[in-house]
Amino acid sequence: MPPAEPWLGSFQELVAETGAAGEEFCSRLLRWLDLSPADPPRFFARLAELAAGERLAAGLVPTTFYWLLAGEQVVGYASLRHKLTAKLRLEGGHIGYLVRPRARGRGYGKRLLELLLPAARAAGIERALLTCNISNVASARVIQANGGVLQDEVYAPSSGRFVQRYWIDLRAA
């Protein structure tokens, strides 16, 4: 579902939980996109700007956020990037996602990507590029379970990591 005010507190807990687990992925993304959950009006206004492709810093593309709820808890989020840049083609792709550490291993990652694919199709994406660090077995399984076909494994100089690149064909979706 699109991010909405009643669940912002739960999203903040998710951010705190990933930080406490020593994961930088989430806080780095929020900083990079200038998204501050501590300031609700600005947070939601910024989400709208990102989705509309307004006030984008160099290297950013229009991006829509989704939250995955289990009951009243935000258990994960995904970001849908409407276009690819040369950097995203190498690492990042169209869709990024995260499940809060304590909710992992229960199928939420697979479900999150499954729900994102029709949204990607609706945004005009015919083939979605998904990338993951070669050591990220859980993410690779999430992608494979959703029809990802491995293209290759490449070195991404900006992160210094080797990444797998998968494509998911959405034309029949």
DSSP state of 73: E
Binding span for ligand COA by CB under 6 A among 33-41, 57-65, 66-74, 107-115: 107-115
170 part of the interface to ligand COA, by CB under 6 A: no
Residue 21 within binding range of ligand COA, rule CB under 6 A: no
Cα distance between residue 5 and residue 143, in whole Å: 29
Spatial contact of 100 and 14, defined as CB atoms under 8 Å apart: yes
Determine the Cα–Cα distance for residues 105 and 42; give it in Å rounded to an integer: 33
Beta carbon of residue 42, minimum distance to ligand COA (angstroms, whole number): 25
Decide whether 54 or 162 has the Cβ nearer to ligand COA: 162
Q: Shortest distance, CB of residue 87 to ligand COA, whole angstroms?
A: 15
Q: Give the contacts of 12 (CB within 8 A, at least 6 positions apart).
A: 37, 38
Residues that bind ligand COA (CB under 6 A): 25, 96-99, 104-110, 132, 136-139, 141-142, 145
